[in-house]
Amino acid sequence: MDADKGDRWAQGPGFAIVLLFFIVLAGAYGYHSIEGWGYWRSFFTAFLAITTVEVPSLSPAGQVFTVFLLLAGVGAALYTFTLLATLVVEGGPFKRLQRRRQARMLETIRDHFIVCGYGRIGSIIAHQFRRQDVPFVVVERDAARLQAAIEDGALAVEADASNEDVLRRVGIERARGFIAAVGTDAENVYAVLSARLMRPDLFIVGRAETDDASLKLKRAGANRVISPYQIGAVQMAQTALRPAVVDFMEIATSQDNLDLALEEIPIAATSRLANQSIIDGNLRQRHGVIVVGIQREAGAMEFNPEPTTKMHPGDKLVVLGKQDSLKELEIEAGG
């Protein structure tokens, strides 16, 4: 890493400016030695020579020295000005500061989601995370989509999501989850496989367009596989058959609704609710919430549980209630 920084400095504007300054100083020392002038006149003449402005009368030795000084100085000046112009065109110091800020954020971000792809699906996912203040990082190969993610305020990296070095860079060791929403099934399978190999315990969601891709994503290590086309078709059918039920679910799950929300709340081992029944926990009376279901630690889901159903450590309560009530319950359930 230090060697790379040294190489960038040796080829960058810092080196060019130092080189130009050194040539001016060398020219001033040369005039001082050859012509016997004072330091200021020598420095001034060297500067005039490099800028190709007419210099004072010189001795034959001084003229020969000026020729070499002009060759070196003009070359160094052009090199320096070219690099500085390139920096201005490419964004200059502002972009460098932006890259450093992004690098710092990538090093410190934790409990975040890695969203692979910023197309139609990825951008909607990012929008939902942003509205709920959930930290996330976007990994996108397409420059135009990457720019769109940055303009939307996302922390984004232009790279291949299946590259293990890239996944380390975006903090997969500290991530909360991984979402593969790239444009093709093959890319999603490779991304999921790479993430699973690096983090066997990571929660991974994959996007699939075909049944075959769904099977491959599950074999690659995805915990959940989502088919946007299938979900969209089911939603349309349910809307046609049971519009009131669909309206209720949209109200319950929409973040626009400030009065009601459907949330999952894990039960910690240190919580007073652990190993209690729903009726003993008195959730309805104390928090005003309805327990819709319980997902057991092993993964099984119990819908509409009986009041006598026990809540065990590691279980997740699926509850319906007001935002403030859900936050109170979440604090209690977390111990």
Q: pLDDT tens digit string along 305-326?
A: 999 999 999 999 999 888 888 8
Residue 50, pLDDT above cutoff 90: no
Residue 55 vs residue 134, higher pLDDT: 134
CATH, domain range 2-89:
1.10.287.70
The DSSP symbol for 236 reads H
CATH for the 96-231 domain, from 2.102.10.10, 3.40.50.720, 3.20.20.80, 3.10.20.30: 3.40.50.720
Q: Which pLDDT tens digit goes with each residue over 158-169? A: 999 899 999 999
Q: Residue 155, by phi and psi: left (phi above 0), alpha (psi -120 to 50) or beta?
A: beta
Map out the domains of the chain as residue ranges. 2-89, 96-231, 243-333
- Which whole number is the average pLDDT over 147-159? 91
pLDDT, position 1: 45
H-type helices in the chain, by residue range? 2-11, 13-35, 39-50, 60-89, 92-108, 120-131, 143-151, 164-169, 185-198, 211-220, 228-241, 243-253, 278-281, 283-287, 323-333
**Percent of the chain, pLDDT > 70?**
80
pLDDT exceeds 90 at position 132: no
The pLDDT value recorded for residue 231 is 87
Question: Which tops the pLDDT comparison, 22 or 223?
Answer: 223
More confident residue, 210 or 32: 210
Does residue 3 register a pLDDT over 80?
Answer: no
Assign 9 a pLDDT band (cuts: 50, 70, 90).
very low
Residue 276 exposed, middle or buried by CB count within 10 Å (0-12, 13-18, 19+): middle
User: Over pLDDT 90: what percentage of the chain?
Assistant: 46
Determine the pLDDT at residue 21. 76
Is 3.40.1190.20 the CATH number for 243-333? no
For the ranges 93-107, 226-240, 286-300, the lowest mean pLDDT is seen at 93-107
Average pLDDT over residues 259-278: 89
For residue 88, what pLDDT is reported? 61
pLDDT in the model for residue 74: 67
Between 91 and 228, residue with greater pLDDT = 228
Does the pLDDT value for residue 241 go beyond 50? yes
Higher model confidence: residue 62 or residue 297?
A: 297
Q: In 10 A of CB 298, how many CB atoms?
A: 7
5 pLDDT higher than 60 = no
